[in-house]
Homo-oligomer: A and B are copies of this chain.
Amino acid sequence: MAEPTGAERDAGPESGLEPESGPARDAEAVSKFVESFAAQLVEAGMQRMPARVFAALLSSDSGTMTSVELGEQLRISPAAVSGAVRHLAQQHMVAREREPGSRRERYRVHSNQWYEALTSREAVIKRWEYALREGVDSLGGDTPAGRRLAETLAFFEFVDDEIARMMDRWRVHREERFGGG
C-alpha cells in the first residue's frame, strides 16, 4: 500500500464511542443532523441517497468529502455514492474535484452554487409555461378554460422574473452579512 491505511483522516481518537467524548468534532452530532436534514429534503421530494450525501457534505468542515468518507459516514456502498453524486452533479448541487497527486475525487458543495440550483427550477418552470401556452392555443384564449390557463401562465412568467430579482438581492444581502465566500 502506498498510503497508511486510507480513511483515517476523521477517525482520530474515535475508537470507543462514549456519548460525551466530544473531541474536535462529535461524530454522533454530525450524523444526527445529517440524517434529520436529509429526511426533510426527502419529504420535500428529493431522492434519499442524494439527500443524504448532500446533507453530509453540507455539514463537513471543509465542505468536501471523498467517496470513502461518504461511504463510511452514511454506511452505503461505493456504488450508491457514485449514483448519488452523479445525480447531484447533474443538478449542479455539487462539484467534483480531482485531488491532485491521487486517484481520489473530492465532492464539494459550493454554498452559492446550491442556492442557485434550488431556486432555478428554471428549466422546470419553462416547460410548464410551454405546456400552458399550448393549452391556451388549443382550447382558445376566449373560453373560460383558456382564460384560466392564460392566467396561470401569467403567474409563472411573473414568478420567473421575480425570482431572478430576488436572487440578485440575496447576493447583495449575503455579501453584506457574510462577506466573500
CB interface residues, A 118-168, toward B, < 8 Å: 119, 121, 124, 127-128, 131-132, 134-135, 138-139, 143-145, 148-149, 151-152, 154-155, 158-159, 162-163, 166
Q: List 29 A-B contacts (CB under 8 A).
A: A25-B145, A26-B138, A30-B139, A33-B135, A33-B138, A36-B131, A37-B131, A37-B135, A40-B124, A40-B128, A41-B128, A44-B124, A44-B128, A58-B148, A59-B135, A59-B149, A61-B143, A62-B144, A63-B144, A109-B148, A111-B151, A111-B152, A119-B159, A151-B181, A154-B178, A159-B166, A159-B170, A162-B170, A166-B166
Question: Copy number in this complex?
Answer: 2
Instruction: Give chain A's interface residues, CB within 8 Å of chain B.
Output: 25-26, 29-30, 32-33, 36-37, 40-41, 43-45, 58-63, 109, 111, 115, 119, 121, 124, 127-128, 131-132, 134-135, 138-139, 143-145, 148-149, 151-152, 154-155, 158-159, 162-163, 166, 169-170, 173-174, 177-178, 181
A135 to B100, CA, bound (A): 32
A100 to chain B, nearest CB (A): 22
Assess A111 versus B29: contact at CB under 8 Å? Given A44-B124, A61-B143, A131-B40: no
Interface of A is mostly: helix
A43 to B124, CA, bound (A): 8
Assess A148 versus B115: contact at CB under 8 Å? Given A33-B131, A139-B29: no
7 more CB-based (< 8 A) A-B contacts, given A25-B143, A155-B170: A29-B139, A32-B138, A33-B131, A33-B149, A40-B131, A151-B178, A162-B170
Which residues on B sit within 8 Å (CB–CB) of A124? 40, 43-44
Asked whether, in the complex, the Cβ of A134 is within 8 Å of the Cβ of B170, the reply is: no
